[in-house]
Amino acid sequence: MEFEPWMLLAFPLFFGMGWLAARMDIKQLVDESSALPRSYFQGLQFLLNEQQDKAIDAFIEVVKVDPQTVDLHFALGSLFRRRGEVDRALRMHLNLAERADLDEGKKEQARFELAQDYLKAGILDRAESIFLDLQNTPYGRQALEFLLETYQKEHDWLKAVDITQRLSALTNQSHAKEAAFFYCELAEEDLARQRSDAARAHLEQALDTWPHLTRATIMLGDMERTAGNPARAIETWRQIEQHDPQYLPLVAERLLDAYREGGHLDQGIDVLRGYLTNHHSLDLMNVVAGAVMQRDGADAAYQLIRDELQLNPTLLGLDRLLETRLLSVGEERRSDVELVRKLLHQRTSALSMYRCSSCGFKARQFYWHCPACYGWETYAPRHTEENGKLH
């Protein structure tokens, strides 16, 4: 392409147009910034300085000055809910949901936030009603997830099962394990009402939904033992070793009692000692040591614990070793052993907790359903000291 003289005139023209456009953008930015209340910038500064209380007060001033700041209303309402100030969040979102000047999208957003407020406040029927109405909106998937949480809090397990099926179809992600636990909850309710046939049917549904679900297997074994069939209970519980041996400590005491009821205590102790060899666990060790102590005396139990500690040293195991030693030590040394054991016990109390792998909540008893984050099967059936080790 050859140079033409007229091109010299084009350069100043393009430069002038660019300068004019920049001036217009800067002017618009200045005008918009000038229109914002000073409290808005103060609120941003407080947020940057992690002073949430002062930021909220500043943003509330903005809302008072300019009621049209809809997005700021939403932000404040969500912040109130996260801080536990549900009443203020409810008022904020109710005001938005009732405003006639909002478009349909903003109204749906307001109702979605309002339903979460009701859920947080424990007003479950209102939360459920709104989430159900939002199923065919852009918030449909999230509404189903919150409905699942709502039905769990209401203990409406059949509706919870239905939601898991709908979520699986919508997202192509399996929620079968959750549904299996819901069937176990239904079985628990049946057993409380002495409806054993219905309980067994629900447990079979649980295993059809999620094969080898340990909780369902344990409950079926419990039902067999209650019905006077210890041999069938043992057969059921022993399946856990093939399916998920980490849960064997949960049935160790049950197995021992069932073997004892059937007149085969020695066989039961041998079975549990085999489990202990292949799947070490403090709880397993404690059950076996207790049985050996009753049958063979404190010295035999002490030797069993000592041998186990040499292979798998833990402070909790040492605490149990000293406890057993006190039963056979002479009077002249008892006070020394008691002192050492007392000091050790004080240090190990925090190590005997169970810990949720999802939220970190610790508890002294084992839960299938975390009481903090409501996750299912998030607790490993091992104490925190054991979970800190490499296996």
| Amino acid symbol at 91 | R
323 and 367 both lie in a single domain = no
Rg of the chain in Å (alpha carbons): 32
Band of residue 44 on the pLDDT scale cut at 50, 70, 90? very low
**End-to-end CA distance of the chain, in Å?**
75
379 and 320 both lie in a single domain = no
At 172, phi and psi to the nearest 5? Answer: 60, 25
Is 113 inside any structural domain?
Answer: no
Residue 10 scores a pLDDT above 50: no
Lowest mean pLDDT among 45-49, 124-128, 313-317: 45-49
**What confidence tens digit (pLDDT) does each residue in 157-182 have?**
999 999 999 999 999 999 999 999 99
Is 365 inside any structural domain?
Answer: yes
Asked whether the beta carbons of 206 and 187 are under 8 A apart, the reply is yes
362 and 328 both lie in a single domain = no
Is 369 inside any structural domain?
Answer: yes
Residue 202 scores a pLDDT above 80: yes
At 369, phi and psi to the nearest 5? Answer: -125, 115
pLDDT at res. 385: 61
**How far, in Å, are 158, 182, 215, 227, 312 from residue 196 at the CA level?**
18, 17, 16, 10, 42
**What confidence tens digit (pLDDT) does each residue in 278-303 have?**
998 889 999 999 999 999 999 999 99
Please, which residues have CB within 8 angstroms of residue 105's CB and are 6 or more apart in sequence?
138
357 and 337 both lie in a single domain = no
Q: What is the total count of domains within the chain?
A: 2
Q: In degrees, to the nearest 5, what angle opens at C-alpha 64 toward C-alphas 60 and 65? A: 120
348 and 307 both lie in a single domain = yes
**What confidence tens digit (pLDDT) does each residue in 242-283 have?**
999 999 999 999 999 999 999 999 999 999 999 999 998 889
| Amino acid symbol at 8 | L
Q: How does strand 362-363 pair with strand 354-355?
A: antiparallel
| Amino acid symbol at 1 | M
Domain around 377: 353-391
320 and 365 both lie in a single domain = no
pLDDT at res. 293: 93
**How far, in Å, are 41, 48, 68, 76, 301 from residue 45 at the CA level?**
6, 5, 22, 16, 66
| Amino acid symbol at 24 | M
Asked whether the beta carbons of 99 and 114 are under 8 A apart, the reply is no
Give the number of residues written for the chain. 391
Classify residue 195 by its DSSP letter: -
* 283: number of Cβ within 10 Å: 19
**What confidence tens digit (pLDDT) does each residue in 140-156 have?**
999 999 999 999 999 99
Is 381 inside any structural domain?
Answer: yes
Rounded distance between C-alpha atoms, residue 74 and residue 97, angstroms: 11
Band of residue 332 on the pLDDT scale cut at 50, 70, 90? low
Q: What is the mean pLDDT of the chain?
A: 82
Residue written as token pair 């084009």: 10
Asked whether the beta carbons of 362 and 355 are under 8 A apart, the reply is yes
Asked whether the beta carbons of 146 and 115 are under 8 A apart, the reply is yes
295 and 334 both lie in a single domain = yes
pLDDT at res. 380: 85
**How far, in Å, are 50, 231, 276, 296 from residue 287 at the CA level?**
51, 20, 10, 14
Structure-token pair, residue 387: 């979970």
Is 328 inside any structural domain?
Answer: yes
Is 293 inside any structural domain?
Answer: yes
Q: Name the pTM for this structure.
A: 0.77
Average pLDDT (335-357) is 76
Band of residue 196 on the pLDDT scale cut at 50, 70, 90? very high
pLDDT at res. 241: 95
Is 336 inside any structural domain?
Answer: yes
323 and 341 both lie in a single domain = yes
Is 332 inside any structural domain?
Answer: yes
Residue 116 scores a pLDDT above 80: yes
* 295: number of Cβ within 10 Å: 12
Helical axes 214-226 vs 230-237, angle rounded to 10°: 170
Rounded distance between C-alpha atoms, residue 30 and residue 33, angstroms: 5
| Amino acid symbol at 285 | M
pLDDT at res. 68: 53
- Give the residue from 259, 263, 104, 339 showing the smallest Cα distance to 274: 259
287 and 339 both lie in a single domain = yes
